[in-house]
Structure 1
């Protein structure tokens, strides 16, 4: 299912092409994706959109607390992924509400373990829905880019 989400994002949503769900399902099926995976991807993305709409409506979490991840979260989401999420929050790329949205969407994926690559895509999709991809891509490039700064 995750491959369907990435394919949809790269080929449709990022380019702001929004075919209706029936047309998109037919195109995804023609591209070789399983209909169950397509339907699960639609459900996952619909939940992302609904949660993003709530976040944009101003239901920001209190950021003065301390977040402790539960056992199901630490079992499913890799330690590298959780560290990356915390890094983005500390760098002010993510808010506490966005962090929770990303954790929720990671837990909703069917894979038994969510690695760093999946987490990076989830963050990108979540921030894209809010028009905040430039902030994320700057940090992503700085952390994971091939070019390293020259120290003088």
Structure 2
């Protein structure tokens, strides 16, 4: 499913340019993706579109928190198993720099859960975050986008 989502993101950077699901289904099938992977990805995308319509139009990221107010996201046991320490650390980083406000974080967690059973690697988590921004028709900050598109396996150590 993640290969299909990556293909959609790479070929339809603007989510408004993405064709309707039936046309996208045909296009993805002609690209040679397995039908079960295409079906899973399209269901995932349709649920993302539905959830994105439920969120407010303007992001909450620029709104400063009330003095002394802090939100804490407690992971359930299944979420802990899915994300692992590295995944939750990455999401906590995005939240701490203001790149992933509370509502978007919850949408990411919803999409992580919808991605199926088993652990989610950090690279797949980055793709999920990218797809959430894509589904919300929002562009992350350039440095955040760079972090989301960075693959640790190809990173050179200094």
Shorter-chain TM-score bucket reads 0.7 to 0.9
Q: C-alpha displacement at 1:15, in angstroms?
A: 7.1
Residue number among 62, 70, 73 corresponding to 2:79 in the alignment:
73
TM normalised by structure 1 equals 0.80
Match of 1:138 among 132, 143, 147: 143
Gaps of 5+ in 1: none
The gaps in structure 2 that reach 5 residues or longer are none
- 1:22 matches 2:22: yes
| CA RMSD in angstroms, aligned pairs only | 2.8
Aligned length: 146
SS at match of 1:77: helix
Moved more, 45-54 or 18-27: 18-27
Bigger relative contact order (CA 8 A; separation at least 6) = 2
- Partners of 1:111 and 1:120 lie apart in 2 by 17
Match of 1:94, SS state, is coil
* Residues 121/107 of structure 1: CA separation in 2 closer, same or farther (3 Å cut): same
Q: Show CA shifts across 1:109-141 (max 9, x none).
A: 125110110111111111123343231x41343
